[in-house]
Amino acid sequence: MKTSKVLLFLLVFFNLPVWSEDSLVIYSGRHEKFVKPVMEAFTKQTGIKVKLLNSKSAALINRMRLEGKNTKADLFISNDAGTLQIGADMGLFQPIDEEIVKVVGPKYRGEKNSWVGLSGRARVLVINTKYEEELSFIKSVFDLANPKLLGKLAVTHSANSSFIAGITVYQKLAGDKKTLEFLAGLKKNSAGKVYNKHSKIVEDVAAGKKIVGLVNHYYIFRYLKKNPKAPIKMILPDQGEKGMGIAWNVAGIAILKHTKKLEQAKQLVAFLLSEKGQKMFSILNNEYPVRKGVPTAKGVTSDYKVADVPMSVLGKGRNKALSLIEKVGLY
């Protein structure tokens, strides 16, 4: 099959339109509601229009790879550092100027500035406070494999990018054996039920259907904002001098290698990393700013130990993590 026919098939299959307008085109693997307000603020400030094409990050990576120099995309956004690093390793992106990204620590950028993080999320525990005493033995994320939690644990399915990123961090710091034992414990304690959304985990923990769940931090704060009296709280595992710290992941952005609007693309990245852009991610989404000195949203905890793993590792260690997940048969 000719390349043009393959491309047409993929566009139809994934329902992805082709933009032809003279605007910055962003292929975005994030939900539009998390990105659109910041893009509208950028357009208002600069007059540069932005078109968002939303789909699964993996589908967009495949599309960019296939389109090559003919792509209409100028930038790519993903909610997962691992996916961004995979795109970088494919040679899809170009380095972003150091002057633009220097406000973000190297840990939250791709190698050679091939991409840069925009906002962070932490892998934490949500518990039902009615069972707080029963759950007091949990000091580490690995304690979720304890048989005491049989049928009481809520986790997402293993295709979830945040789940994979977390396992990548745990494998990197604790090794294969401990991570395999952990995955086997999760499989057993979830009692055959896995979730497709973190928000549903928080809902079920609040309702007492499960008593502890492994989630991204902001889902807890969003739920409490709507339900301030809900019997839930966030637990920060793996703290203290001997703790490995909490697994982080970042949503981030990259500039396409073949963009024809490089200067406008740089302006957008600079805006998203500005104090104004970072405050919007923080306040609107309850995510962690990656720019140094920008505060978190009111009530969002930030004083804790983070696992010392560069975000680029989430891409380079992804296949190893998936191999461990498949070995256990956790899906």
User: Any idea what the Cα angle at residue 317 is, between residues 315 and 320, rounded to 5°?
Assistant: 130
262-273 per-position pLDDT tens digit: 999 999 999 999
Beta strands in 143-209 (DSSP E): 153-154
Strands 212-216 and 153-154: what pairing? parallel
User: Which tokens in the block code for residue 105?
Assistant: 């620590």
Regions of the chain where pLDDT drops below 70? 1-21
pLDDT of residue 330: 81
27-47 per-position pLDDT tens digit: 999 999 999 999 999 999 999
What is the Cα Rg of the chain in Å? 20
Domain boundary assignment for the chain:
3-120+250-296, 121-247+319-328
User: Any idea what the Cα angle at residue 132 is, between residues 193 and 330, rounded to 5°?
Assistant: 20
Rounded to 5 degrees, φ, ψ at 138 are -75, 110
Strand partners of residue 256: 93
- Indicate the pTM of the whole model: 0.90
Is 121-247+319-328 a CATH 3.40.190.10 domain? yes
3-120+250-296 and 121-247+319-328 in the same fold: yes
pLDDT of residue 331: 76
User: Any idea what the Cα angle at residue 33 is, between residues 80 and 112, rounded to 5°?
Assistant: 30
Torsion of CA 182, 188, 191, 194, to 10 degrees: 30
CATH tag, 3-120+250-296? 3.40.190.10
Measured CA to CA in angstroms, residue 191 lies from 98, 184, 185, 329 at distances of 48, 11, 10, 13
pLDDT of residue 21: 59
Rounded to 5 degrees, φ, ψ at 252 are -150, 180
pLDDT of residue 258: 96
